[in-house]
Structure 1
Amino acid sequence: MVTATFRFYEELNDFLAPVRRKREFTVPCARAATTKHMIEALGVPHTEVELILVNGESVDFNRQLEDGDRVAVYPRFVAMDVTPLLRLREKPLRELRFVADAHLGGLAHMLRMLGFDTLYDNHFQDDAIVAIAEQDGRIVLTRDRELLKRRPVTHGCYVHALKSEAQLREIVERLDLARSARPFTLCLHCNTLLHPVDKASVLDRLPPRVQVLYEHFSTCDACGRVYWEGSHWRNMRRLLDELVCPTNKQAEPNEPRHGHPAS
């Protein structure tokens, strides 16, 4: 019988049974079991793990466990650079792009508000999400632990919060997105870039009141929606300012802006 002693750190404990949280525990392992197999058998998706130490040595997910091994499992580090120790993934993602599962439409919408390329369709099946993530190098966002355990998914985040605004705060803080945000540059419907447009060119597509009150507009070439700085834009602006103001300037006058879209 092969046994190994595990210790999980910080938020990884949320995935464990209560009696195993924030303490060492010893469990039996299948013969030839790998670190990935045992970590996920204990309930922690591999995409949540940044560093594994076995007997003090950094290892990858394929390391076979031996009798008496001591395994320390860490989540993503924020305050310290552990890059020299990492053995888990071949390379980091060069850009932050997401694919959200069918239950995270609100979060996907808000990430687009921040300017992050986020694919979402409420008809997405798990197999499609895995294929998209693997092909495009996207980070999977989900509340389904089993989805994050799929081997082709190399980057993913389990979303703990239940409400959209809390989910956005969680992801922004966890992935340190504030410095990369470009608010109001993507169409909330199509996930494509917006560009400024002259008022005269969209005048016939605007409600009468908007024609009088607003001067600055942007549009999406894919769906034709027109955006302006209406009350909806101001409400979104207040939310985003709480998240990105410490590290991002306000939008310049010539940046694309959102508001109520005109179909």
Structure 2
Amino acid sequence: MVTATFRFYEELNDFIARPLRRRSFSCACARGATAKHMIEAIGVPHTEVELILVNGESVGFEHPLADGDRVAVYPKFEAFDIQPLLRVRERPLRVMRFVADAHLGGLAQLLRLAGFDTLYDNHYPDEDIEAIASRDHRVVLTRDRELLKRRTITHGCYVRALKPKIQLREIFDRLDLAGSAQPFRLCLACNAPLRRIAKEDVAGHVPEGVLERHARFVTCDVCRRVFWEGTHWQRMRALMDSLAGERDGATGTSPAGVENPT
């Protein structure tokens, strides 16, 4: 056995035993144990980790620990560019796409509303989520920390909040999504692209009052639903604007509605 000293930073402390939080502590390790093995044995999913320093040097997950090593473990960085450092992943994801577990259906819909390709099925077993994430290079969103410890999952977020709108803000903040949001371009039900449809083509597919009051409509070619800019769209527009903050143009101008479809 060897002994290493660990220190976890910021929100990574949420995963470890309370007496060990926000301080250095010693931990016995099997000889040849890797940084990844010990970090997860302590309770932190590897997908939550962005940077590992061993004795002040940046290392990868497979770095073997030696007796006396001092290990500092950091979460994802939003405010600092650590690209020049050796990161624990080969490269960041170029396109942000998600797969959500069975407990995050509301969050999945809101991410689609914001324009992010998000797969969700409340019948997905963990094995399917792992396979989808690996195949499609998707970020796994879950409230199950054990899922994030699966070997082939390289990008994931443990969602702390319980309510979908608060979860959405959490993910936007943690992954700095405001700049890449493209609201109202995906179907909330199908995750498929929406397209503009002429008013004359929706006659018979929407209530008469809606046809009289609205001029712009969109449809999903998968589920064939028709959407318009009703009161629900206005509430969702306000939510998207609040997430974008004061950044000009963050929410775009595409008028794809999300009112109750027919």
TM superposition score category, shorter chain reference:
over 0.9
Instruction: Give the Å deviation of 1:235.
Output: 1.1
Equivalent position of 1:262 in the other structure: 261
Distance 1:251 1:24 in 2: 46
- Structure 1 outlier segments of 4+, above 3 Å: none
What one-letter code is carried by the residue in structure 1 that aligns with 2:258? G
Equivalent position of 2:57 in the other structure: 57
Equivalent position of 1:164 in the other structure: 164
Could you tell me whether the CA contact under 8 Å between 1:101 and 1:121 is conserved in 2? yes
Equivalent position of 2:188 in the other structure: 188
Secondary structure at the residue paired with 1:242? helix
Could you tell me whether the CA contact under 8 Å between 1:187 and 1:194 is conserved in 2? yes
Equivalent position of 2:84 in the other structure: 84
What one-letter code is carried by the residue in structure 1 that aligns with 2:181? A
The aligned runs of 1:94-173 (5 Å cut-off) are 94-173=94-173
Could you tell me whether the CA contact under 8 Å between 2:115 and 2:182 is conserved in 1? yes
Distance 1:261 1:219 in 2: 12
Instruction: Give the Å deviation of 1:79.
Output: 2.1
What one-letter code is carried by the residue in structure 1 that aligns with 2:74? Y
Deviations 1:144-175 (A, max 9, x none): 00000011000000000011111000000110
Could you tell me whether the CA contact under 8 Å between 2:105 and 2:120 is conserved in 1? yes
Instruction: Give the Å deviation of 1:256.
Output: 4.3
Distance 1:143 1:85 in 2: 29
Distance 1:171 1:80 in 2: 17
Distance 2:37 2:193 in 1: 41
What one-letter code is carried by the residue in structure 2 that aligns with 1:152? T
Could you tell me whether the CA contact under 8 Å between 1:225 and 1:261 is conserved in 2? no
Instruction: Give the Å deviation of 1:86.
Output: 2.4
Q: How many residues align?
A: 261
Instruction: Give the Å deviation of 1:251.
Output: 4.1
Equivalent position of 2:227 in the other structure: 227
Distance 2:255 2:241 in 1: 16
Distance 1:90 1:22 in 2: 28
Could you tell me whether the CA contact under 8 Å between 1:195 and 1:256 is conserved in 2? no
Distance 2:177 2:96 in 1: 9
Distance 2:245 2:201 in 1: 32
What one-letter code is carried by the residue in structure 2 that aligns with 1:262? P
Instruction: Give the Å deviation of 1:203.
Output: 1.2
Distance 1:148 1:257 in 2: 34
Distance 2:146 2:199 in 1: 49
Secondary structure at the residue paired with 1:203? coil
Greater shift, 145-154 or 202-211, is seen at 202-211
Could you tell me whether the CA contact under 8 Å between 2:184 and 2:258 is conserved in 1? no
Secondary structure at the residue paired with 2:26? strand
Q: Which runs of 5+ in 1 are unaligned?
A: none
Could you tell me whether the CA contact under 8 Å between 1:108 and 1:120 is conserved in 2? yes
Could you tell me whether the CA contact under 8 Å between 2:229 and 2:255 is conserved in 1? no
TM-score, scaled relative to structure 2: 0.97
Secondary structure at the residue paired with 2:128? helix
Deviations 1:179-220 (A, max 9, x none): 100110100011011111101011110112111111110111
Could you tell me whether the CA contact under 8 Å between 2:47 and 2:156 is conserved in 1? yes
What one-letter code is carried by the residue in structure 2 that aligns with 1:260? E
Secondary structure at the residue paired with 1:83? coil
Counting aligned pairs with the same residue, the percent is 62
Could you tell me whether the CA contact under 8 Å between 1:34 and 1:61 is conserved in 2? yes
Q: Which runs of 5+ in 2 are unaligned?
A: none
Distance 1:6 1:84 in 2: 24
Over aligned residue pairs, what C-alpha RMSD do you find?
1.1
Distance 2:102 2:108 in 1: 10
Could you tell me whether the CA contact under 8 Å between 1:4 and 1:66 is conserved in 2? yes
Instruction: Give the Å deviation of 1:245.
Output: 4.1
What one-letter code is carried by the residue in structure 2 that aligns with 1:234? Q
